[in-house]
Amino acid sequence: MLFRSAVLLAAGVTGAWLFHRAGVTLVSAAAKANAPLPVPSSDPVFIRLFAVFFFAASAGLMVLGQAAAMLHAYGSGAAMAAAATTFITGSIAATRLGGGWLVDRWPMHRVAAGANLWALSGAVLVTVLATPWSALVGLAMIGMGYGVMSGASAGYLPQLWARDLFAALAARLYVAWCAAAVVLPVLAGWLFDLTGGYQAAVLVAAAGNLAGAWFARRLPSPEKKRGGAESTTP
């Protein structure tokens, strides 16, 4: 672990040094003069997107971080649990790409609501049929819902706000990811210690996905955002 940390630190320091030596200017003087207005933290659309992303990511990161333990708890062997971790991780990666593709073709409220409802269906499957194979499919569905939401969110930001704001908005949005990585995964571990299983944690994830689908229904289309009173950019 110490060696890996040292490698990551060395890579980060080297990258920072190379960037400094390159003398790259990310924003020109003309761009600074015409920079778009920042999006305030109180923007209702961003708050809604933040909430939807948080609920989807909470469920998905719980599965991503504890897939092997969850499969084992549902009766799978060690080999299946290990293979399931790879399968679920690959599913999340693929659906991230799919989320970006979907939001380019469908309204975000449909994509986001669909992602959360798909994950909710996976939680229901795991709850109703508590077998190793149903757990594999259901947990993968929960992860896929998070993957779609992750990719769709990245594609949705530049649809609503100026592209120059993407980095700042994405960084702010991923605070939801950081919170999600702590809240439900930790709660799931506590519930497992308390109950001896993951059924309660899956139900909490299902409730979160249901809330995410509810919040997603009011995410506006780009035309409504730019033309409405909620717009914060010129």
pLDDT digits (tens, 9 = 90+) for 34-58: 555 577 777 899 999 999 999 999 9
Cβ neighbours of residue 80 under 8 Å, at least 6 residues apart?
71, 132, 136
Token pair in block for residue 226: 């730019």
Is 124 a residue whose pLDDT tops 90?
yes
> What angle (nearest 5°) sits at the alpha carbon of residue 120, between those of residues 160 and 44?
25
pLDDT tens digits, residue range 181-221?
989 989 998 999 999 899 999 999 999 999 999 999 999 98
pLDDT at 228: 47
In whole angstroms, what is the distance from residue 74 CA to residue 47 CA? Answer: 36
25-57 in b/e form (b: 16+ CB < 10 A) is: eeeeeeeeeeeeeebeeebebbebbbbbbbbbb
Q: What is the DSSP letter of 221?
A: P
pLDDT tens digits, residue range 103-116?
999 999 999 999 99
pLDDT tens digits, residue range 148-171?
999 999 999 999 888 888 888 888
Is 28 a residue whose pLDDT tops 80?
no
